[in-house]
Chains A and B, each alone.
Chain A
Amino acid sequence: MGYAEFKAPKGLIKVEVELAGDQILRISISGDFFMYPEDALERFELALIGSRVDRKSLMERVENFFGSSGARTPMVEPEHWIEAILRAAGDKIT
């Protein structure tokens, strides 16, 4: 399991990730951010499973999720989630 924290403009994002090769097998996101509706977080985690851990693949998944779900995370942008995930994945690799 790789673990990392990333401080977005409003919200500390904490990610725990387990990889299978370069793909996300399991991911757990926690932190002091705000997400509306709150139950979107679990769906967000599910949506990330299977994604490769490169910036482009993650951006596609993240943007797709927010676009289709309508979930809102004030002052936390897609690139913040991606940075947190990449750091956690990097922790695993090293």
Chain B
Amino acid sequence: MRIDDAPMSMAIDEALLKLNSEGKSPNTVRFWRWLPSTVSIGCFQSAELEVDFDVAKKYGVEMVRRITGGGAVFHDHGGELTYSVVCGQDRMPDDIIESYELICGGLIGGFRQLGLQAEFKPINDVQVGGKKISGSAQTRRWGSVLQHGTVLVGPDVRLMFELLKVSPEKISDKFISSVYERVTTVALELGRKPGFDEVRGAMRDGFAGALGAELVEGELTQEELKLAGMLKPKYASDEWLKKR
């Protein structure tokens, strides 16, 4: 499984989307982890309003802006698995929420395989016991669809909420207990933290089922890596991060 930094993670997703739309890259499901840990923000978010830059610097957490909407997400190297699905738009319902539901069905299948009863919560969340365990974001460009999102395996939830522009005063016991009411992780639900390969395997089967597809293992192609390399500087630039 790839472990990539923030700019490369986003560059690969965009490269797959572009090449898929040109018929040069197959429909793809991929899984990866981030190093260093990163906060990704949605394309409509203002970086300064969403992320505490001082806290990020203190913990060596990077930041990157996605090309998808939605909120700020903490990709904890030690606790989060990220997925992306790229396919032709003809494979997806036109209705936006329906398409989120279809792809999130892959995650739900994966969670089920891990022993968890998960549900789709429109627009873009998967919940277990009413608490968020996964969030996703989707874009549609050039005739293809990219949806990527998180699987909260066992992230540092306290650090997550410290990074995401919540003042230190709010990190009281009371706030933390309310945080745990809204968010859960695979580790919390199972009482053990599964390995990333185990989670990946479950999600892989989940997506195969939900997408009605045979998934063939592979690596990124030279063309995909080359385009990703060309897109990487954009994601690394201050101009892109502070675009809004």
B interface bracket (residues with beta carbon within 8 Å of A) = 20 to 34
Partner pick for B49 among A30, A36, A75, CB 8 A cutoff: A30
The answer on a CB contact under 8 Å between B44 and A41 is: yes
Q: Which of B68-76, B185-193, B208-216 contacts A (4 or more CB under 8 A)?
A: B68-76
Assuming the A-B contacts A33-B69, A41-B44, are A75 and B140 also in contact, with contact meaning beta carbons closer than 8 angstroms in the complex? no
Q: Is B226 an interface residue (CB 8 A)?
A: no
The answer on a CB contact under 8 Å between A32 and B42 is: yes
A interface bracket (residues with beta carbon within 8 Å of B) = 10 to 19
User: Within the complex, what minimum Cβ distance (angstroms) separates A1 from chain B?
Assistant: 13
Number of interchain pairs (Cβ within 8 Å)? 53
Give complex CA distance A29, B71 in Å.
14
Assuming the A-B contacts A37-B140, A38-B139, are A32 and B72 also in contact, with contact meaning beta carbons closer than 8 angstroms in the complex? yes
Partner pick for A33 among B44, B138, B140, B244, CB 8 A cutoff: B44
Interface residues of B (CB under 8 A from A): 42-46, 49, 67-72, 96-97, 122-124, 137-141, 244
Interface residues of A (CB under 8 A from B): 10, 12, 14, 28-38, 41, 72, 74-75
Task: List the 8 shortest-distance A-B pairs measured between CB atoms, nearest first.
Answer: A32-B71, A34-B69, A30-B46, A74-B96, A74-B123, A10-B123, A32-B42, A30-B244
